[in-house]
Copies of this chain bind each other. A is one copy, B any other.
Amino acid sequence: MDVKHLCLGVLCTGDASGYDIKKYFESSFRHFFVAGYGSIYPALSGLLDKGYVDVRQQQQERLPDKKIYNITQLGRDAFQAALEQTVPRHKVRSQFLALMHFAHLLPTDQVLRALDTHINELETLLDILEEGRKTAVQGNYGEDFTREYAVTSTDALLAFVTERRNAILTSNANAKACA
């Protein structure tokens, strides 16, 4: 399950351009897989080379040409096989937590800025997930599962981080009042 396979996954739901696929990543995969053009376009080239997708050029008025990709039967089979062989890993890599782990080495205001930034990111993610709830097709189990999984985690974390941030603010205010 890498960028290539996820592109195949998107194309299983319908034809799309690289640009469309990127938007799909942003709206539906954002909570578990982030990819930019720099990985999506090369991935599509690779899939084309392997015969997993076909492409047709679509001219547009007043806009750049589009390359519409569609998945082949070979591609579907490859995706199915990849799915079946996927080991269900789940990895977090967080500069935010790395920074917080060494918070004692930093001035309080930088720690607060980091917390605020993270809170913003969590809120943005919640907005996107909420948007997904509205637009999701009913009965799509997988999409629902991953979305609600992310909502569960994000809700809990938002409460946690906000509480900790406020605790720092009040203890800071107390320290100032004493001084």
Give the total of A residues in contact with B, Cβ under 8 Å: 59
Report the separation of the CA atoms of residues A149 and B122 in the bound assembly, to the nearest whole angstrom: 13
Stretch at the interface among A48-56, A66-74, A140-148: A140-148
A97 at the interface (CB under 8 A from B): yes
A161 at the interface (CB under 8 A from B): yes
A5 to chain B, nearest CB (A): 8
Contact B160 A92 (CB under 8 A): no
Chain B residues near A160 (CB-CB < 8 A): 148-149, 152
Residue from the list B34, B84, B140 in contact with A106, Cβ < 8 A: B84
Report the separation of the CA atoms of residues A93 and B27 in the bound assembly, to the nearest whole angstrom: 15
A176 at the interface (CB under 8 A from B): no
Contact A156 B146 (CB under 8 A): no
Q: A100-B146, A104-B142, A142-B100 are in contact. Are A33 and B83 (CB under 8 A)?
A: no
Report the separation of the CA atoms of residues A98 and B12 in the bound assembly, to the nearest whole angstrom: 14
Of residues 99 through 116 on chain A, the ones whose CB sits less than 8 Å from some CB of chain B are 99-106, 110, 114
Of residues 60 through 93 on chain A, the ones whose CB sits less than 8 Å from some CB of chain B are 79-80, 83-84, 86-93
Chain B residues near A172 (CB-CB < 8 A): none
Q: A31-B97, A32-B97, A92-B92 are in contact. Are A145 and B164 (CB under 8 A)?
A: yes
Contact A104 B32 (CB under 8 A): no
